Amino acid sequence: MTKARDLANGGFGLVLIKPSSVVNGTDNGKGTVSFSAASSVSLNDVFSTTYTNYRILLKASQSAAEWLSMRMRVSSADATTSAYNYVAIRGNTTDSFTGTATMGYISLHTTGHANKRMSIDVFNPFDAANTFVVSTGLTVTPTVGLMSWEHQVATSYTGFTLLSLSGATITGSVSVYGYNN
């Protein structure tokens, strides 16, 4: 049932966004990007003034047990400076990690490197201000992880890159949704 408040704001829920271009992946024509044995995958022009916050849904497997990471992107180039301040908590242990890196971690390094499922919320990426990201996920082990990071460069980002560390490849699919205001 559609409510009056949903019609008043032009719609409701999450809206699937189609990237303008993809590097190392294939868009299905609607916005879901598939990739196979890629060292990285980049989605361009998914963040804009249309939405303030975004949700990324990711299904991935890695060729080795390794951290899965994300970099912010603008003008088809990744932000690679050591400006990603992160904190991570592994749910089935007392492990926690903090630090600064050249990428933001979205999935824990675990022995179960297949069948990762993640929900990644990105807050204000298009604003020329710090970008905040929260990722929750589950791996086959099972291991639940909560990752959070802040990119401390006041830049307006339009896309992102997913990558594995240490040469591991990734296979899976990713979709980006805008939160309808």
Q: What local confidence, expressed as pLDDT, does residue 13 receive?
A: 87
Asked if the structure places residue 8 within a domain, the reply is: no
Q: Which backbone phi and psi does 98 adopt, to 5 degrees?
A: -140, 160
pLDDT tens-digit readout, 72-85: 999 999 999 999 99
pTM of the predicted protein model: 0.87
Which residues are bridge partners to 176 per DSSP?
Answer: 17, 56
Q: What local confidence, expressed as pLDDT, does residue 4 receive?
A: 44
Asked if the structure places residue 68 within a domain, the reply is: yes
Q: Which residues of 127-151 are buried (b: 16+ CB within 10 A; e: fewer)?
A: eeeebbbebbbbbebebebebbbbb
Residue 56 CA to residue 47 CA, distance in Å, equals: 11
Asked if the structure places residue 43 within a domain, the reply is: yes
Based on the structure, what is the number of domains in the chain? 1
Give me the CATH number covering residue 34.
2.60.120
Copy the structure tokens of residue 43.
């989605």
| Low-confidence stretches of the chain (pLDDT beneath 70) | 1-12, 91-94, 108-114, 139-144
Residue 79, classified by CB atoms within 10 Å of its CB into exposed (0-12), middle (13-18) or buried (19+), is: buried
DSSP labels, 134-159: EEEEEETTTEEEEEEEEEEEEE---E
Asked if the structure places residue 4 within a domain, the reply is: no
Asked if the structure places residue 6 within a domain, the reply is: no
Domain residues for the domain of 163 are 14-179
Q: What local confidence, expressed as pLDDT, does residue 108 receive?
A: 61
Q: What local confidence, expressed as pLDDT, does residue 48 receive?
A: 96
Q: What local confidence, expressed as pLDDT, does residue 153 receive?
A: 92
Residue 130 CA to residue 27 CA, distance in Å, equals: 29
Asked if the structure places residue 70 within a domain, the reply is: yes
Q: Following CA atoms 47, 97, 145, 30 in sequence, which dihedral angle do they give, to the nearest 10 degrees?
A: 20
